[in-house]
Amino acid sequence: MTDNLWGYQPAAGHTVGTDLIGYKVEATDGSIGKVDKHSDDVTSSYLVVDTGVWIFGKHVLLPAGTVSRVALPPNGPGPRPATHGARPRQPLGRAPPPRHGP
């Protein structure tokens, strides 16, 4: 991971200004949900993830430094874009909720 937990890793492939809302979020061992909200602030980038049916009704706050790769949407039909975390599901599911709601 990056030295700055609140910034995207250079190798993650994230471009500032890319709208990540709706992207699937994949942990190293399976899906954890979809991006509900995100921030590209230089020193405080994060994702708010709706965990959906995995942990019903929960939103978790993930620092951008936990993202190992952003899969950009293909041209034309294909799989939905995704962000890939550098951690397994269990610790990501225990991440704190956002302070001011999703």
64's tokens: 């951008």
Q: What is the pLDDT of residues 62-89, one digit of tens each?
A: 999 989 899 877 665 555 677 777 777 7
Q: What is the pLDDT of residues 8-57, one digit of tens each?
A: 988 888 889 988 999 988 888 888 889 999 999 888 999 999 988 777 77
> What is the torsional sign of CA 72, 78, 68, 37?
positive
Domain 10-93, what fold?
SH3 type barrels. (2.30.30)
Q: State yes or no: pLDDT of 101 exceeds 50.
A: no
From residue 91, give the alpha-carbon distance in Å to each of 11, 78, 79, 102. Answer: 22, 30, 26, 19
pTM of the model: 0.77
Helix (H) or strand (E) holding 63: strand 59-63
CA distance linking residue 36 with residue 80, whole number of Å: 15
Give pLDDT, residue 39: 93
**Structural domain boundaries in the chain:** 10-93
